[in-house]
Amino acid sequence: MSLRTNRKQLVMTGVQGGVSPAQMWAPFEVGSKGEVFSWPSTGGITYNVKVGDSVFGWAGEHIEPGVSSTLTHKNRKSEDGYQFHACCGNQARVISGEAKGEVGTVIGHHGGGESFDA
């Protein structure tokens, strides 16, 4: 028995975004002993945190593995379609720069990276 799918009826839609700027959770935080610190947070390209790594032990807040992308940083409403179509498992293809032509996979969603207000 073969598995039946509706693959031929699925709509293929392309979206285009860019690397979202690296952000920090807050300008600084104060620890329980009064120490002041600042952590990297959402956005940018995270080179050393990969899917499957432990969530513990990193000096960061809301760290996103791989490349964080966004459509625009000026209008949060315009992000809705981009976020909707960026489904886990979808292909992501680099269309410019030194990595042009490379293909990756959408590994997750995190609302908030797109809320940067430039």
Tell me how many domains the chain contains: 1
Whether residue 5 is contained in a domain is answered as no
Q: With 0.75 as the threshold, say if the pTM is over it.
A: no
Whether residue 42 is contained in a domain is answered as yes
Whether residue 36 is contained in a domain is answered as yes
Whether residue 6 is contained in a domain is answered as no
- Confidence at residue 6, expressed as pLDDT on a 0 to 100 scale: 94
Model confidence pLDDT, tens digit, residues 86-105:
788 888 899 999 999 999 99
- Confidence at residue 117, expressed as pLDDT on a 0 to 100 scale: 37
Predicted confidence (pLDDT) at residue 4 exceeds the cutoff of 70: yes
In sequence order, what E strands does 1-118 have?
18-19, 29-30, 36-37, 45-46, 66-67, 69-70, 91-93, 103-105
Question: Structural domain of residue 111, as residue ranges?
Answer: 15-118
Predicted confidence (pLDDT) at residue 115 exceeds the cutoff of 50: no
Q: Which helix (H) or strand (E) holds 79?
A: helix 79-85
pLDDT confidence bin for 113, thresholds 50/70/90: low
Contacts with 19 (C-beta within 8 Å, 6 or more apart), sequence order: 43, 44, 45, 67, 68, 69, 70
Whether residue 44 is contained in a domain is answered as yes
CATH of the domain at 58: 4.10.1180.10
- Higher pLDDT pick, 8 / 82: 8
Whether residue 111 is contained in a domain is answered as yes
- Confidence at residue 111, expressed as pLDDT on a 0 to 100 scale: 62
Whether residue 7 is contained in a domain is answered as no
Predicted confidence (pLDDT) at residue 112 exceeds the cutoff of 60: no
Model confidence pLDDT, tens digit, residues 13-71:
888 888 888 877 778 888 899 999 888 888 889 999 998 999 898 888 888 888 888 87
Whether residue 31 is contained in a domain is answered as yes
The two three-digit tokens of residue 75, written as one number: 């209008």
